């Protein structure tokens, strides 16, 4: 039998009491605009960190560390954490919180005061993104970071449950749309669980979902990412129309749209919601002027 004294006690995480005390000390009133719902449950933090499959040598990028609930869990699992926070009061407090709760790990944290949708440079080379994302900007944040930080090879994000379903949806499903297909350009996305409302303060009105992702090689194409994304935007802007009609504006006429679709091996009478990312890439490539 193992000597119970040899099993180290789990490091303390922030519970409801600590979160409220920190918020009170800072005079913070969580705002909806910044999606400020703080996790007050250590088990949820442990679950997110376990599902993120972090290698102990990794640098993890966390977006929106807030009062530090997830940051502490990430510091226990990773070599470094780079935390990007838009709220200056929360960003300034985070190193103090880490020094108080994880004194040995305080040197492993970098805090960047910035909007995660605009950040283009970070200290270190993060290889994983793990975050409880601000819900109103979750998808643009993930797409922006995957675009600008090719070193990110996997991740686990918490978003609104219905957004999680959209991010992981495959062609033909009701929830398949722009987030699914643009996400698929960069990564394979999978649903990694559902989280109830009571683990947050303040509690949101809807459940949250966990989305795990692993970066993939984008489809091979002569078209640029921006050109492929322009086709996706056009196809889903009028998702009930046939692709021939929906892509007429993008192509400069319905006949040219039909030519591109046929060249890409796509039925012009089909709708965008049945196409995978490779098909969107072929359509974009069919419009790219061929150099002979």
85 versus 161: smaller Cβ distance to ligand SAM: 85
CA angle 108, 128, 86 (to 5 degrees): 70
Q: Which is nearer to ligand SAM, 8 or 27 (CB)?
A: 27
In a 3-state reduction of DSSP, which class is residue 153? coil
Q: What is the dihedral of CA 170, 174, 179, 181, to 10 degrees?
A: 40
Q: How many residues bind ligand SAM (CB under 6 A)?
A: 23
Among 18, 41, 58, 87, binds ligand SAM (CB under 6 A): 87
User: 180: which residues sit within 8 A by CB, 6+ positions away?
Assistant: 166, 167, 168, 169, 170, 189
Closest CB 158 distance from ligand SAM, rounded Å: 7
State which of residues 85, 161, 258, 285 lies at the interface with ligand SAM (CB under 6 A): 85
Q: Which of 61, 72, 74, 86 binds ligand SAM (CB under 6 A)?
A: 86
Choose, by CB under 6 A, the member of 18, 22, 28, 37 that binds ligand SAM.
37
Work out which of 72, 78, 90, 266 binds ligand SAM, going by CB under 6 A. 90
Q: Which of 96, 115, 162, 263 binds ligand SAM (CB under 6 A)?
A: 115
Q: What is the DSSP string of 163-181?
A: HHHHHH--TTSTT-SHHHH
The side-by-side arrangement of strands in the sheet containing 80-85 is 109-113, 80-85, 59-63, 128-132, 154-160, 208-215, 187-195
For ligand SAM, the binding residues in 221-280 under the rule CB under 6 A are none
Report the nearest approach of ligand SAM to the CB of residue 9 (Å): 23
Closest contact distance (angstroms) between CB of 275 and ligand SAM is 30
Identify the CA nearest to 170 among candidates 147, 188, 192.
188
């Amino acid at each position: 039998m193992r000597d119970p004294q040899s099993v180290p006690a789990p490091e303390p995480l922030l519970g409801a009491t600590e979160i409220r005390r920190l918020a009170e000390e800072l005079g913070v009133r969580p705002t909806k605009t910044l999606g400020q719902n703080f996790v007050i449950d250590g088990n949820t933090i442990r679950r997110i960190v376990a599902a993120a499959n972090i290698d102990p040598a990794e640098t993890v990028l966390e977006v929106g560390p807030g009062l530090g609930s997830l940051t502490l869990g990430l510091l226990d699992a990773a070599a470094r954490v780079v935390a990007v926070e838009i709220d200056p009061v929360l960003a300034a407090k985070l190193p103090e919180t880490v020094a108080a709760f994880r004194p040995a790990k305080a040197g492993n944290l970098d805090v960047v005061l910035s909007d995660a949708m605009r950040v283009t440079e970070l200290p270190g080379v993060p290889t994983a993104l793990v975050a409880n994302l601000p819900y109103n900007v979750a998808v643009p944040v993930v797409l922006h970071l995957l675009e600008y930080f090719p070193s990110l090879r996997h991740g686990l994000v918490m978003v609104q449950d219905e957004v999680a379903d959209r991010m992981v949806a495959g062609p033909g499903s009701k929830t398949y749309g722009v987030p699914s297909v643009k996400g698929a350009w960069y990564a394979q996305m999978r649903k990694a669980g559902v989280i109830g409302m009571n683990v947050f303060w303040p509690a949101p009105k809807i459940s949250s979902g966990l989305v795990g992702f692993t970066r993939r090689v984008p489809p091979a194409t002569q078209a640029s990412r921006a050109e492929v994304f322009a086709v996706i935007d056009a196809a889903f802007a009028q998702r009930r129309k046939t692709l021939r009609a929906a892509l007429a504006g993008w192509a400069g006429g319905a006949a040219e749209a039909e030519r591109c679709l046929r060249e890409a091996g796509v039925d012009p009478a089909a709708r965008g919601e049945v196409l995978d990312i490779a098909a969107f890439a072929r359509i974009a490539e069919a419009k790219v002027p061929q150099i002979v």
